[in-house]
Amino acid sequence: MITGNLFFDIVGLVVIATAIGMVISRNAVYSALFLVLNFASVALLYVTLGAPFIAMAQVTVYAGAIMILFLFVIMLLGAEKLKDEGTSKKTRYLAIVLAVVFLGEAAWLLVFQSGVSPLGLNMPVSDFASPTQIGLVLFSNYLLPFEITSAILLVAVIGAIVLTKTDAPTPKPISGGKE
């Protein structure tokens, strides 16, 4: 039990460190890589909490597909070469105030609203977040939203193909004679 809590705490610190690294990194590529590491660390937290299917979905969807898309966009746009225009003092003060408010809310939730005992983790039931349970809920209670989401994604893929399609130049006719 102690080693499980210690592992959870270490991975939690890695999640916090990578989130801070992502926010304060001045290079967009490094920031995206910090976010990939953050997603992978969050997946480890899911495994620790007994939700391996959600961990696999976290790695596949977020760290795999979405972050690769972000990296491609950053590389194509050349965002890593943009100049840093600096931030104004008002923006820094606003960020500090919002960070203090966020930390205060997090502390309040930990102290007054925590349902987890401080000595150990509450473990979910054995079939919690299993693929079978998720499939049953998804295809019984949420079938219409699932189908609407799939149709929207299909339209988005077709729209992306149409928007990026370039008209190919028409080939010149081959002349058999003199020019």
> Does residue 95 register a pLDDT over 50?
yes
pLDDT, residue 118, reads 46
Which of 31-35, 75-79, 117-121 shows the lowest per-residue confidence on average (mean pLDDT)? 117-121
Mean pLDDT of 16-22: 92
DSSP secondary structure string, 117-147? -TTSPPPPPTTTT-HHHHHHHHHHTSHHHHH
Q: Give the list of residues 6+ apart from residue 18 with CB closer than 8 angstroms, or none.
A: 34, 35, 37, 38, 41
* Average pLDDT rounded to a whole number, residues 97-118: 74
Q: How confident is the model at residue 80 (pLDDT cuts 50, 70, 90)?
A: low
Q: What is the pLDDT of residues 144-170, one digit of tens each?
A: 888 888 888 888 888 877 777 777 666
When the pLDDT of each residue in the chain is averaged and rounded to a whole number, the result is 78
Which of 15-24, 25-34, 80-89, 118-127 has the weakest average pLDDT?
118-127
Question: Which residue type sits at 104?
Answer: G
Residues listed for the chain: 179
Give the residue-averaged pLDDT of 54-66.
Answer: 83
- In whole angstroms, give the CA distance from residue 135 to residue 143: 10
